[in-house]
């Protein structure tokens, strides 16, 4: 990770109501405090459902927790006649640092194209949020050995028009779709292959310095038992954790991958 502060981000997906969210955040923070976790050495973030964000904000601000939080999606628009959508402005007001953009469950289940993902990335920046931009290939693409080409094509489109200053803060999550929620983990070499190619692309699009500072996460069935091997890869700077992030003990262990 050469100088990059690792980020462990928990994507709760559509799990935990606002009361359960409060319990999880408290338990996670207690567990990490017990372990004397240095949040500046390994950053920890949670991405709860929209309806939990206000409760998480109250807890984080009230108890001065060092935990960061964000949303799982946002509207490409700032406000207006978009029934059911949530603006980045609302998320910023709730103290969100991050917002996931282009998760495969949104690309697949909600027909989000790269053009939509690109508009959402720009909306995140417009509201001072840091996008966690998700990319990754389906199983058929992997079987054809086209994973690198596929992911780089996605990212070129998703980052179109994003400036160098903006890109300097982006977080990119490489999540092979066949490894999400399946228990099937990509090998550390698989994760490194694609993350290294992403970093090379970022150097081409922006600069070597910008590319060196950008955090690349791996996502796909990350657990306490497999995180260390993945984190040992040079170009992997953290994890986007789904299922294992709604168990505070397991997620805390993932955050403590150096123990
Ligand atoms: C995810 O939702 O981004 C994810 C990686 O899920 P899981 O860890 O459950 O595979």
pLDDT tens digits for range 3-28: 899 999 999 999 999 999 999 999 99
- The H or E element containing residue 164 is helix 164-167
- What is the CATH number that goes with domain 7-255? 3.20.20.70
Q: Which of 43, 103, 105, 112 is catalytic?
A: 103
**DSSP code, position 222:** -
Spacing, Cα 225 to ligand 1 middle (Å): 15
Judged on CB neighbours under 10 Å (0-12, 13-18, 19+), 55 is middle
Q: Residues 170-227: pLDDT tens digits?
A: 999 999 999 998 988 889 999 999 999 999 999 999 999 999 999 999 999 999 999 9
Predicted ipTM of the assembly: 0.98
Spacing, Cα 181 to ligand 1 middle (Å): 5
Taking CB atoms and a 6 Å cutoff, what residues make up the pocket around ligand 1?
A: 11, 13, 175, 180-181, 219-222, 240-244
Query: 184 an active-site residue?
Result: no
Q: Is 181 annotated as a binding-site member?
A: yes
Backbone angles phi, psi at 239, to 5 degrees: -140, 145
User: What one-character-per-residue DSSP string does 90-149 give?
Assistant: HHHHTT--EEEES-HHHHHHS---HHHHHHHHHHHHHTTPEEEEEE---HHHHHTT-HHH
Query: 61 an active-site residue?
Result: no
Q: Residues 42-60: pLDDT tens digits?
A: 999 999 999 999 999 999 9
At 21, list the tokens. 């969210």
- Domain regions of the chain by residue span: 7-255
pTM, two decimal places: 0.98
Residue percentage of the chain with pLDDT more than 70: 100
Spacing, Cα 150 to ligand 1 middle (Å): 20
Q: How far is Cα 173 from Cα 165, in angstroms, rounded to an integer?
A: 19
């Amino acid at each position: 990770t050469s100088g990059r502060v690792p980020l462990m981000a928990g994507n709760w997906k559509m799990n935990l109501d606002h009361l359960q969210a409060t319990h999880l955040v408290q338990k996670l923070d207690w567990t990490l405090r017990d372990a004397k976790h240095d949040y500046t050495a390994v950053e920890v973030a949670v991405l709860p459902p929209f309806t939990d964000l206000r409760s998480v904000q109250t807890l984080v601000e009230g108890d001065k927790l060092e935990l960061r939080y964000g949303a799982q999606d946002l509207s490409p628009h700032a406000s207006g006649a978009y029934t059911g959508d949530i603006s980045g402005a609302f998320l910023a007001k709730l103290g969100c640092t991050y917002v996931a953009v282009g998760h495969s469950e949104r690309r697949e289940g909600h027909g989000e194209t790269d053009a939509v993902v690109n508009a959402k990335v720009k909306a995140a920046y417009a509201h001072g949020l840091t996008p966690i931009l998700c990319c990754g290939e389906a199983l058929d693409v992997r079987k054809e050995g086209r994973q690198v080409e596929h992911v780089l094509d996605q990212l070129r489109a998703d980052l179109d028009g994003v400036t160098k200053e903006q890109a300097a803060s982006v977080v990119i999550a490489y999540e092979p779709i066949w490894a999400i929620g399946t228990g099937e983990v990509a090998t550390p070499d698989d994760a490194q292959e694609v993350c290294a190619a992403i970093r090379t692309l970022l150097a081409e699009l922006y600069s070597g310095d910008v590319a060196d500072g950008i955090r690349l996460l791996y996502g796909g069935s990350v657990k306490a038992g497999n995180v260390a091997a993945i984190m040992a890869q040079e170009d992997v700077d953290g994890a986007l954790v789904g299922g294992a992030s709604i168990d505070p003990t397991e997620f805390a262990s993932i955050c403590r991958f150096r123990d």
